[in-house]
Amino acid sequence: MATIIKSYEPTFWDKLYLPALMRGLIVTFRHFFRRNVTIQYPDQKHIPPEGYRGLHRLNKFPEGRIKCVACEMCSAACPADCIHIIPGPSPWDGGKERYPVRFDIDLLRCIFCGFCEMACPEEAIELTEIYDFSDYTRDDLVIDKEGLLEVYDLTKDQNYYTKNNLSKASSVDTPIDT
């Protein structure tokens, strides 16, 4: 079916351009009074939505024991190959269970895809909402088991950033620094 396209002939009013210019000025003037959308970053932090994939954590049982059983499903699922686990016999139950002696994540390799938390049968590894964990050296950006457990303590009760926004602390040390 043929479509008839009407070409637009500018009228004299259009050719004056001045009304169009005025309308443009009004648009920018209205924006002048609109609330700005800037988040004043170090003072005020963006709160990521539920399901945000940031820094990892290793979950603990209420009594404090690590949930991870060092099955290495996560490191197998990891497309970036950034999870390195050294398993060993657990210090509890007389060494009958597996547990991670070392659990290192190379955060510079990680692509934050979340496959590890999907692969985990024990719901031990999870991604949190923490996004500002920059550091100065590559070595400092390899997080170990202690660090990952500490992230759990920081994020288990409430959103990490709501807490920091309330205290308005501008220099919040992420667990990586400790």
Partner 1 sequence: MDLLGFTIIVVKVLVVFAATMLGVLVMIYAERRVSAFMQDRVGPNRVGFKGVLQPIADGIKFLMKEDLVPERVDKPIFILAPAILLIPALMTFAVIPFGSSINLFGREIALQVADVNVGILYVLALTSISVYGIVLAGWSSNNKYSLLGGLRSSAQLISYELAMGLAVVSIILLAGSLRLNDIITDQQGSFLSWNIFRQPLAFLIFLIAVYAETNRLPFDLSEAEQELVGGYHTEYSSMKFAMFFMAEYANMITAAALTVTLFFGGWDVPLLDEGSLGLFGALLSVLSFILKVAFFLFLFIWVRWTFPRFRYDQLMRLGWKVMLPLALFNIFLTGGYLTIKALG
Return residues touching partner 1 (CB under 8 A): 18, 21, 24-25, 27-29, 31-38, 40
**Min CB(165)–partner 1 separation in Å:** 17
Q: How far is the CB of 39 from partner 1 (least distance, A)?
A: 10
Measured from the CB atom, the residue of 16 and 108 that comes closer to partner 1 is 16
Do residues 97 and 90 lie in contact, with contact meaning Cβ atoms separated by under 8 Å?
yes
Candidates 134, 146, 136, 120; CA nearest to 173 is: 134
Residue 32 or 136: the one with the smaller Cβ distance to partner 1 is 32
Considering the complex, state which of residue 45 and residue 57 has its C-beta at the smaller distance from partner 1.
Answer: 45
**Nearest distance, CB of residue 63 and partner 1, angstroms:** 48
Closest CA to 104 of 70, 67, 60, 129: 70
**Identity of the residue, 39 or 169, whose beta carbon is nearer to partner 1 in the bound complex:** 39
Would you say 107 and 142 are in contact if contact means Cβ atoms under 8 Å apart? yes
Amino acid at 150: E
Burial class (CB in 10 A: 0-12, 13-18, 19+), 125: buried
Coil vs helix vs strand at 63: coil
Q: What is the C-alpha to C-alpha distance for residues 66 and 38, in angstroms, rounded to an integer?
A: 40
Q: Given the complex with partner 1, which of 11 and 178 has the nearer CB atom?
A: 11
Contact 66, 124 (CB under 8 A): yes
SS3 56: strand
